[in-house]
Each structure stands twice: as C-alpha cells, then as structure tokens.
Amino acid sequence: MLGVTTSRLSAVAKFAGVSEATVSRVLRGKPGVSQVTRDAVLTALDVFGFARPEPVRSERARLIGLVVPDLSNPIFPAFAEVIGVSLIQRGLVPVLCTRTSDGVSEAHYIEMLLAQQVGGIVFVGSSYADAGPAAIKQLTERRLPIVLINAADENLGVARICVDDTGAAEQALAHLAGLGHERIGLILGPVGHVPSARKLAGFAKFWEERGETRWRRWVDHTVFTVEGGRGAANRLLAAGCTGLVCASDALALGAVRAVRKQGLEVPDDISVVGFDDSTFMGVTDPPLTTVRQPVRAMAGAAVLSLLSQLEGRPAASEEVLFDPELIVRSTTGPCPVPA
C-alpha cells in the first residue's frame, strides 16, 4: 500500500492516534477524513521518514526548523523544549538544528531545511542573517514563515520576540546600587551582538542619569562561556568593580570562579548578577542572583506567531518585548566597607 507495510501502517496509526483504516484512507486520498486527522497522519509519516502519498508530496511538510546557536548554554535547550512540545501538540514536527564545533553553520541548516520543504523556521538566539545573502534570498523568495527569538542581529520585516534587555540591565544595576555598590562592571557578549548592545544601552542610561562619566571602563566584551566570564571578571576586578552584571548565567558562573581564584568571596567581597535564570541556577554555590527571561511566555508567543503565518497572515512588523524579572538569591550583598 503505497510503500507502507502493515507494521508501518500500525506504527503510523498509533502515533497519529487513529485507526489503521483511517491511515489507509489518507494514503489513498479517500474522502471522509477531517483536515485535522489528515494532518496528524501526514505528520506521523514525516516522523517515521515514510514517503507521503503522491497527491500530497508537493505540499509543504509539517516540519518546523528550530535553530539554536548551541546546547551548552542551558537557556537554549529550555526554549527548544517548550517550543518543541508546543509544536508537537499542534501536529507539527520540530527539527532541532544547532551550530557544531566542526563548522556546521546556519547557512548549512537553512539549505537542509529548505530541501526538506519545512513549513517554517524559528531561530533562537541566532539569526538567518548569519547565513549570508544567498540564504536570505532563498528565504525571502519562498516567503517562508520565520520567527526570531532574541535575535543576534537587527532584522526588520520578520516576527521578533525579545526580552527587554535594556530593562534587564537597569533592574540589575538598580539592585546593586541599592546595596551600596558604586563601581559596577558589565560583562557582555561580542561587540555587535544585539541583546548585548541593548544591555549596554541600559547600562549607559543608568550611569548617565546619575552623572557618572567613568562607566565605559567598567564594560568588557567576551564570548558567552564560563571561561569568557572568568577573563572579563578579572579585568573588571582590576578596575575596582565591586559588583558585576553579566549578560548570561554562564558568564556569571565564570565571574564567580574568577572572584574565588583571587581569594575573594561572593557576595562578601564581590556581588555577581547573571542573566536568563537557566536550569540549576537556584542550586549553584552560592545560588545565583539573576534576571529571569520568561521562557514559557516568549516561546508561546513565537509559536502563535508561526501558526499565524502558516495560516497565511503576515508577520507582525513590530517586535514583541517581554519584561524580565530580577531573581534575588545569594550572590549579591552590601558593598564592602573599605578597610
């Protein structure tokens, strides 16, 4: 039956939650099957890697690309999990793509996803702009539904879901200033990284409103790793900072390590604030004060935007901003009094 054996027919039926007879009707293009049921069966075929029946092979598959920069930063798996579950609940199949150490890039994944006739792509913490002009041209020509979450680049004309990075920096700074810290460092990602640039804007605004002109010496750019955070923290500690605001939890953990390496204590000598509130930050030693991204709400908005585009509606032209929340734990405390 169209290349699907009895055992495979049973597997597809079980996955789709329908009878084998219903699967057979879909495969043969028979009437009397609702669109929802038909989509569930076609999705099951995609999952098991079975060819779709000839009449619907030209249709866009129910596969959705989910592109993230890496899986070592726990915030990206957190987004991937929520988005993936939500897509599956709607009869869509997420295809997780992550940049690898051997050089597999966004351009490669976009090419692969387009070859699979995906229905759309969600980029988390990255951007299709990284893939270069050729990939951008392909995406534009196909009018593929796209959603960007916390995109690394400015991208106009596509759906954008973002946390308020400027507000996040201001929340962290206000917290540390309220504890008496007057020299607060900011550890950011690479220059040109949009979320980092927005945090820097909040940092600049905070100090300029207070008449502080030295703030530029308290900023350090690095890569988003524990090692990057440790190196940047060492430089800012040398500049006399007593508080450190970090653009990710990984950077914050590196900063804590740098403080301890110098024989100092967190938070008795140096206070540290992270960003994301990713998994296990509440059980680190000490538990990390951090600015939480509303992952579930942002992921939900991204899926709804994607579904809207899949139904033929244009992408929203304005980015959707979500408020972050400062989670105070044990890595921040009063500024130490000079001896």
Where does the pLDDT of residue 58 fall: very low under 50, low under 70, confident under 90, or very high at 90 and above?
very low
Instruction: Please say if the pLDDT value at position 324 is more than 80.
Output: yes
Q: Write the single-letter amino acid at 170.
A: E
Where does the pLDDT of residue 102 fall: very low under 50, low under 70, confident under 90, or very high at 90 and above?
low
Point out the least confidently predicted range of 70-79, 122-131, 231-240, 255-264: 122-131
Instruction: Please say if the pLDDT value at position 59 is more than 60.
Output: no
pLDDT tens digits along 196-255: 999 999 999 999 999 999 999 999 999 999 999 999 999 999 999 999 999 999 999 999
Q: Write the single-letter amino acid at 301.
A: A
Instruction: Please say if the pLDDT value at position 85 is more than 70.
Output: yes
Q: Tell me the whole-structure pTM to 2 decimals.
A: 0.81
Nearest-angstrom CA–CA distance, 17 and 187: 50
Nearest-angstrom CA–CA distance, 119 and 160: 18
The per-residue pLDDT for 41 is 84
pLDDT tens digits along 139-160: 777 788 999 999 988 887 889 9
Q: Following DSSP, what letter does each residue of 248-314 receive, concatenated?
A: SHHHHHHHHHHHHHTT--TTTT-EEEEEE--TTGGGSSSPPEEEEP-HHHHHHHHHHHHHHHHTTPP
The per-residue pLDDT for 100 is 64
Give the H/E segment covering residue 84. helix 75-89
Dihedral sign for Cα 297, 81, 164, 128, please: negative
Contact 290, 327 (CB under 8 A): yes
The per-residue pLDDT for 70 is 86
Where does the pLDDT of residue 2 fall: very low under 50, low under 70, confident under 90, or very high at 90 and above?
very low
Pull the structure tokens for residue 39: 């989509």
Going by their DSSP bridges, the two strands 289-292 and 325-327 should be labelled as antiparallel
∠331-337-339 over CA atoms, to 5°? 125
Nearest-angstrom CA–CA distance, 314 and 292: 30
The per-residue pLDDT for 108 is 77
Q: Any long-range contacts for 54-59 (C-beta under 8 Å, 24+ apart)? A: 54/2, 55/29, 56/29
Q: Following DSSP, what letter does each residue of 158-196 receive, concatenated?
A: SEEEEE-HHHHHHHHHHHHHHTT---EEEEE-STT-HHH
Nearest-angstrom CA–CA distance, 26 and 149: 36
